[in-house]
Structure 1
Amino acid sequence: MASFFSKLFGLSGGAAKDAETLPGKTETYADCRITAAPKREASQYRLGGIIEKEIDGQMRARSFIRADVFSSEQDATDAAFRKARQIIDQHGSSLFADDAPTRQV
């Protein structure tokens, strides 16, 4: 009975378990590989993804997570591709200029 109320009111500590990154689809845009990585949170999907580019033989990655949530995985994936293209267009060459192997944008 206690576990029923814990799950009902979110007291089970399952929030971390519920926020799982789903394997994403990829596409190429402006010499970058974009991987949509929506995170499942309860019954919704949070917008997220990874932008990768090979520079001088080394792969650089820029990850992003946004506050936007969607009711379907497909909507979150589509939005991740749109957001990644926007990030690439806005940042241009400065997106990977710091030579950091990985970072958040």
Structure 2
Amino acid sequence: MGFFSKLFGLDKKKKTVEVEPVEYEGYLIYPEPIAEGGQFRIAGRICKQIDGEVKTHTFVRSDLLSSRQDAETFMLNKAKMFIDQNGDTMFGN
């Protein structure tokens, strides 16, 4: 049954990776690439504490890169640009 669980994504033993956030202009950026078919999808979170509440914007792009490091670097660059362009409005304010 273990083979089928892994095949269909039912394996409960998922690896959780601790991500160190990168601080930028008062925001915390968490690069969290998603492994897909031997490549990594650019993804992560942008967080900021506003009025005592932590607001989070999930950031997922369609781009796939061959290495986790490249996906993390690309995510950080895109997140910084997104913050510069949108600021707190990304949280629906």
TM-score range, shorter chain: 0.7 to 0.9
Equivalent position to 1:87, from 69, 82, 91: 82
The answer as to whether partners of 1:21 and 1:39 remain within 8 angstroms in 2 is no
Distance 1:22 1:43, change over 3 A: farther
CA distance in 1: counterparts of 2:16 and 2:58, whole angstroms: 12
Equivalent position to 1:50, from 41, 45, 55: 45
The answer as to whether partners of 1:44 and 1:70 remain within 8 angstroms in 2 is yes
Query: Where does residue 32 of structure 1 map in the other structure?
Result: 27
Distance 1:65 1:23, change over 3 A: farther
Q: Which has the larger radius of gyration?
A: 1
Q: Could you say what secondary structure the match of 2:41 adopts?
A: strand
Task: Give the aligned residue type for 2:46.
Answer: I
Is the counterpart of residue 64 in structure 1 residue 44 in structure 2? no
CA distance in 1: counterparts of 2:70 and 2:62, whole angstroms: 14
For structure 1, the residue ranges without an aligned partner over 5 or more in a row are 4-11, 99-105
Q: Which runs of 4+ in 1 moved over 2 A?
A: 20-25, 95-98
Q: Could you say what secondary structure the match of 2:72 adopts?
A: helix
TM-score by length of 2: 0.78
For structure 2, the residue ranges without an aligned partner over 5 or more in a row are none
Query: Where does residue 75 of structure 1 map in the other structure?
Result: 70
CA distance in 2: counterparts of 1:21 and 1:37, whole angstroms: 11
